[in-house]
């Protein structure tokens, strides 16, 4: 299994996202880039999700111009990945910071609702 937050780990997320027909269908008509950042021991792991009119990709590194970004420490990211805390709850508690056009999240609800299931295989790797 690839090391969590590594480029290989991001590639496994990409493969899962590309293979999911429901996620691709939910992204039709949407052009959105979602940046992700996890901070652990002073290091920042960054990757981004691209929803582009029926195509979905997960790319390593920071996005050049993300529409919205999420940033959290590794402890929170792992807890969310394991299903111990909902991302929404972590956000309300100030444990996940959101930047950019937060309104886009409401528009993306149908597409984002499936991300957790698509990335379920990476949950054990984040533990």
One CATH from 3.30.1050.10, 3.40.50.970, 2.60.120.10, 3.40.50.261 for 7-120 = 3.30.1050.10
- Domain coordinates in residue numbering, the chain: 7-120
For residue 41, what are the CA distances in angstroms to 44, 58, 62, 75?
8, 24, 18, 11
Give the model's confidence band at 107: pLDDT under 50 very low, under 70 low, under 90 confident, else very high: confident
| Residue 60 · residue 27 · CB < 8 Å | no
Q: Is the pLDDT of residue 65 over 60?
A: yes
Segment (H or E) for 56: strand 55-60
| Residue 47 · residue 71 · CB < 8 Å | no
Assign 3-class secondary structure to 16-48: HHHHCHHHHHHCCCCEEEEEEEEEECCEEEEEE
- The answer to pTM > 0.85 is yes
């Amino acid at each position: 299994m690839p090391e969590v937050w590594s480029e290989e780990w991001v590639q496994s997320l990409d493969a899962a996202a590309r293979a999911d027909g429901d996620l691709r269908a939910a992204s039709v008509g949407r052009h959105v880039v979602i940046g992700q950042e996890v901070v652990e021991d002073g290091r920042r792991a960054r990757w981004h999700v691209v929803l582009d009119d029926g195509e979905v990709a997960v790319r390593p590194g920071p996005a050049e111009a993300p529409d919205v970004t999420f940033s959290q420490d590794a402890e929170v990211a792992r807890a969310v990945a394991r299903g111990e805390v909902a991302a929404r709850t972590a956000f309300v508690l100030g444990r996940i910071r959101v930047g950019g056009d937060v309104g886009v999240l409401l528009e993306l609800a149908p597409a984002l609702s499936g991300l957790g299931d698509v990335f379920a295989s990476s949950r054990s790797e984040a533990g």
